[in-house]
């Protein structure tokens, strides 16, 4: 009896000892994790970039790399300087449906300020309600894009603005006819005179005015901007971890870098649907260089929580989906590896910088939490009165 009691006592003591050890290890781990995040928080919100942990980069990305941070000042082209009058004329034209053949579709129909300057549709519809093939990009921060469209086919905003006016599926109007229609509207004379010194309406002036207006559409400071400026308590632990993952383990920084969160290059991340319905050869259609098949412009990620659905074809509806796709190394299910296009064999070669990341569910949600801090407040935009 006595013996049995001592055994029970010994067992009890052993179990509590083990339990204590285990608790200590768990507590230690929690403490270490808390210390780790507290330290990251301190470094990232220090206001001093030189204190930030080093990013994990592929050698390939180094030439186009610059650290993430605030948006710099907008650079203006030498032949189209800014004036309030020009921006006001540009705004009026941007909202004016009379630039379209039906007099029903304005730039703002697909780039709606209430929908973060895009249309939140998978693909847009335009003239005669025809559907396009690509997702409308937001024009927020477009001043920072080094080339325009998903395939970079326009070099400047001035050049870009004439394309949707003429696109059969968008505004469907010849640019000369569109300019002629604007020239016949008496009320526009004064706006052109204020902007350009005389009342002559030309397609070139229309483009310059619209581009000038677009360069003013810029994100307001986001939670991210405030956090890195020293408001250290603004971020949750998950957001701090998400920022760190973005720069390190998840390797997003290889392509999404600078204050604009894009290195402005063209990359193939395995989304071209080569040889399938919905195939989009991307940059290849502009350069005809087989190496560019399936490459798209790296989009900036500011305001990303408001500009879904995502990717050039709007095929992903949530950010979780996008991050899960990257985590798995962007599997191209059932995609053909090559296709023949106008007699030329094309293969879709995914970038070497896209690989299995094996992020945990927790890490995926931390990355998403971070991406959501890249949006600023939405500005209330008043639609201008249309000249008569």
- The binding site for ligand HEC (CB under 6 A) comprises 105, 107, 109-111, 124, 126, 132, 134, 136-137, 139, 142, 145, 148-150, 157, 160-161, 164-165, 170-171, 210, 214, 250-252, 254-256, 267, 269, 271, 296, 298-299, 301, 304, 307, 310-312, 319, 322-323, 326, 351, 353-354, 367
List the one residue out of 298, 300, 305 whose CA is nearest residue 368: 305
For residue 276, the number of C-alpha atoms closer than 13 Å in the C-beta half-sphere is 14
Please, which residue, 40 or 364, has the CB nearer to ligand HEC? Answer: 364
Provide the minimum distance between the beta carbon of 180 and ligand HEC in the complex, in angstroms, as a whole number: 16
Please, which residue, 195 or 354, has the CB nearer to ligand HEC? Answer: 354
Provide the minimum distance between the beta carbon of 262 and ligand HEC in the complex, in angstroms, as a whole number: 8
Please, which residue, 68 or 148, has the CB nearer to ligand HEC? Answer: 148
Please, which residue, 307 or 335, has the CB nearer to ligand HEC? Answer: 307
How far apart CA 261 and CA 374 sit, in angstroms, is: 10
How far apart CA 74 and CA 141 sit, in angstroms, is: 9
SS3 271: coil
Please, which residue, 122 or 232, has the CB nearer to ligand HEC? Answer: 122
Provide the minimum distance between the beta carbon of 12 and ligand HEC in the complex, in angstroms, as a whole number: 50
**What are the phi and psi torsion angles at 222 (to 5°)?**
-95, 175
Please, which residue, 71 or 250, has the CB nearer to ligand HEC? Answer: 250
**What are the phi and psi torsion angles at 338 (to 5°)?**
-150, 160
First-to-last alpha carbon distance for the chain, in angstroms, is 106
Strands (DSSP E) found in the chain: 266-267, 296-297, 338-341, 344-347
Kindly give the pairing relationship between strand 338-341 and strand 296-297: unpaired
Provide the minimum distance between the beta carbon of 59 and ligand HEC in the complex, in angstroms, as a whole number: 13
Provide the minimum distance between the beta carbon of 9 and ligand HEC in the complex, in angstroms, as a whole number: 55
DSSP conformation class of 59: G
DSSP conformation class of 154: B
Provide the minimum distance between the beta carbon of 4 and ligand HEC in the complex, in angstroms, as a whole number: 60
- Find out whether 257 and 67 touch, Cβ atoms under 8 Å: yes
**How far is the CA of 130 from the CAs of 127, 139, 172, 174, 212, in angstroms?**
6, 22, 11, 17, 29
Provide the minimum distance between the beta carbon of 253 and ligand HEC in the complex, in angstroms, as a whole number: 8
Please, which residue, 232 or 314, has the CB nearer to ligand HEC? Answer: 314
Element (DSSP H or E) covering residue 258: none
Provide the minimum distance between the beta carbon of 189 and ligand HEC in the complex, in angstroms, as a whole number: 21
Please, which residue, 46 or 115, has the CB nearer to ligand HEC? Answer: 115
């Amino acid at each position: 009896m006595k013996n049995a009691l001592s055994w029970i006592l010994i067992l009890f003591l052993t179990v509590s000892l083990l339990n204590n050890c285990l608790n200590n290890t768990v507590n230690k781990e929690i403490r270490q994790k808390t210390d780790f995040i507290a330290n990251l928080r301190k470094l990232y919100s220090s206001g001093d970039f030189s204190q930030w942990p080093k990013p994990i980069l592929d050698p390939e990305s180094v030439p186009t790399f610059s650290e993430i941070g605030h948006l710099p000042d907008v650079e203006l082209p030498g032949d189209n300087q800014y004036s309030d009058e020009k921006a006001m004329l540009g705004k009026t034209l941007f909202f004016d449906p009379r630039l379209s053949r039906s007099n029903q579709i304005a730039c703002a129909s697909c780039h709606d300020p209430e929908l973060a300057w895009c249309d939140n549709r998978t693909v847009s519809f335009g003239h005669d309600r025809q559907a396009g093939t690509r997702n409308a990009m937001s024009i927020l921060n477009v001043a920072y894009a080094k080339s325009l469209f998903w395939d970079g086919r326009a070099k400047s905003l001035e050049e870009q603005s004439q394309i949707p006016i003429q696109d059969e599926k968008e505004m469907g109007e010849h640019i000369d006819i569109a300019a002629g229609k604007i020239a016949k509207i008496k009320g526009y004379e004064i706006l052109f005179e204020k902007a350009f010194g005389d009342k002559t309406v030309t397609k070139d002036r229309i483009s310059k005015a619209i581009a000038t207006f677009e360069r003013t559409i810029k994100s307001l400071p986001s939670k991210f901007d405030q956090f890195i400026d020293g408001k250290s308590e603004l971020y949750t632990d998950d957001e701090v971890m998400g920022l760190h993952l973005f720069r390190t383990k998840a390797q997003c920084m290889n392509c999404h870098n600078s204050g604009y969160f894009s290195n402005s290059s063209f990359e193939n991340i395995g989304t071209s649907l080569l040889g399938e319905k919905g195939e989009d050869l991307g940059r290849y259609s502009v350069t005809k260089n087989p190496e560019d098949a399936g490459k798209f412009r790296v989009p900036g990620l500011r305001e990303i929580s408001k500009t879904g659905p995502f990717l050039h074809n709007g095929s992903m509806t949530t950010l979780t989906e996008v991050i899960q796709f990257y985590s798995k190394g962007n599997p191209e299910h059932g995609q053909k590896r090559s296709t023949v296009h106008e007699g030329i064999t094309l293969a879709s070669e995914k970038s070497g910088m896209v690989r299995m990341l094996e992020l945990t569910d927790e890490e995926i949600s931390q990355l998403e939490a971070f991406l959501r801090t890249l949006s600023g407040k939405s500005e209330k935009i008043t639609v201008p009165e249309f000249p008569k």
